[in-house]
């Protein structure tokens, strides 16, 4: 483990190696100061920024102790808010000698996570692969697998599978509850989730398809910038919030505040829903019906039963 930054924790600490600094643009330092010493560390004075910059330089971070929630949020993203490209970066790995809290690896696009203990659910945009480091479980970004394939890796859970090709397909059948599945995908690839998902499925996707065979949580399709998200069950509040492009298809029920601050794209819902203006119900086109027939593998009559919502 060369070029390693080691952090000793006395108790669980949230937002370690968080490339967003807990969504800094929302609180501007009121909730987390990137340059403040990390809480609960022992024998060092590292700041939250120190960990992120070390990973950006392809160094590894070794956390001795239990990590809290949101470990490695947006790991590997060169965030536009901080002057970056918005694309993926090559980054180092994170090692945790202990447990990891909920939402580990949300919106993560590159790098590897190694955890010696347990990982709480919901996890983020990650899936377990056979570890090359003894004593650790290893996790990779779902988006990275869609972009680059599995390489020599194998899934730790044999129910998951990946088929490469012109349109790669990742099947997640392990029953793990995840946030941000498919975050920032930029390839014509497909993710099939055989079960439920939690927050922000498809966030900032530009290409690809995510199909959820169960229910989805809040913010489904939020900031969707292309591609298609299909939920064959129900969705939570704020579906399609800040949606920019692409398609969200909902077979089941949806809760309130749909299409809040929507700027583009389309929502297709089997049931009539209330949307936040300026979004409104629109007339589906022939191309919309073809999309529904193709994506849902259904007939035109069934496709015509869906209502379309967008900026008409």
Strand order in the sheet with 112-115: 4-8, 60-64, 94-97, 112-115, 137-141, 126-129
Helices (H), 44-180: 48-56, 142-148
Phi, psi of 178 (to 5 degrees): -130, 150
Query: 48 by DSSP, 3-state: which?
Result: helix
- Render each residue's pLDDT in the chain as its tens digit; 312 residues: 459 999 999 999 999 999 999 999 999 989 999 999 999 999 999 999 999 999 999 999 999 999 999 999 999 999 999 999 999 999 999 999 999 999 999 999 999 999 999 999 999 999 999 999 999 999 999 999 999 999 999 999 999 999 999 999 999 999 999 999 999 999 999 999 999 999 999 999 999 999 999 999 999 999 999 999 999 999 999 999 999 999 999 999 999 999 999 999 999 999 989 999 999 999 999 999 999 999 999 999 999 999 999 998
Contact at 8 Å (CB) between 120 and 179?
no
pTM of the predicted protein model: 0.96
Give the Cα separation of 266 and 245 in Å (integer): 7
Cα 310 to Cα 34: distance, rounded to the nearest angstrom? 38
The reported pLDDT for the residue numbered 1 is 45
Asked if residue 97 lies in contact with residue 43, where contact means CB atoms within 8 angstroms, the answer is no
Contacts of 53 (CB under 8 A, 6+ apart): none
Residues 45 and 79 sit within 8 Å (Cβ to Cβ): no
C-alpha R_g of the chain: 20
The angle at the Cα of 66, spanning 60 to 68, to the nearest 5 degrees, equals 90
The residues spanned by each domain of the chain are 1-159
């Amino acid at each position: 483990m060369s070029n390693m930054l080691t952090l000793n924790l006395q108790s669980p600490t949230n937002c370690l190696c968080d490339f967003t600094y807990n969504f800094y643009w929302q609180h501007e330092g009121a909730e987390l100061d990137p340059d403040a010493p990390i809480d609960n560390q022992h024998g060092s004075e590292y700041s939250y920024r120190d960990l992120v910059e070390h990973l950006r330089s392809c160094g590894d971070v070794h956390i001795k102790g239990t990590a809290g929630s949101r470990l490695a949020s947006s790991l590997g993203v060169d965030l536009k808010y901080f002057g970056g490209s918005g694309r993926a970066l090559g980054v180092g790995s994170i090692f945790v000698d202990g447990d990891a809290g909920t939402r580990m690896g949300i919106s993560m696009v590159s790098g590897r996570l190694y955890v010696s203990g347990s990982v709480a659910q919901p996890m983020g945009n990650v899936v377990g692969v056979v570890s090359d480091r003894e004593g650790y479980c290893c996790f990779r970004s779902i988006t990275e697998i869609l972009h680059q394939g599995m390489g020599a890796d194998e899934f730790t859970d044999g129910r998951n599978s990946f088929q490469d090709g012109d349109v790669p397909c990742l099947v997640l059948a392990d029953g793990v509850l995840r946030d941000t599945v498919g975050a920032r995908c930029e390839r014509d690839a497909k993710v099939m989730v055989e079960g439920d998902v939690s927050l922000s499925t498809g966030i900032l996707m530009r290409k690809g398809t995510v199909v959820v065979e169960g229910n989805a949580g809040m913010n489904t399709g939020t900031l969707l910038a292309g591609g298609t998200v299909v939920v064959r069950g129900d969705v939570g509040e704020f579906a399609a919030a800040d949606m920019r492009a692409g398609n969200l298809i909902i077979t089941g029920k949806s809760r309130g505040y749909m299409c809040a601050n929507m700027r583009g794209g389309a929502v297709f819902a089997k049931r009539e829903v209330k949307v936040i203006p300026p979004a409104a119900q629109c007339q589906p086109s022939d191309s919309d019906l073809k999309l529904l027939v193709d994506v849902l593998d259904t007939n035109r009559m069934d496709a015509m039963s869906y209502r379309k919502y967008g900026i008409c």
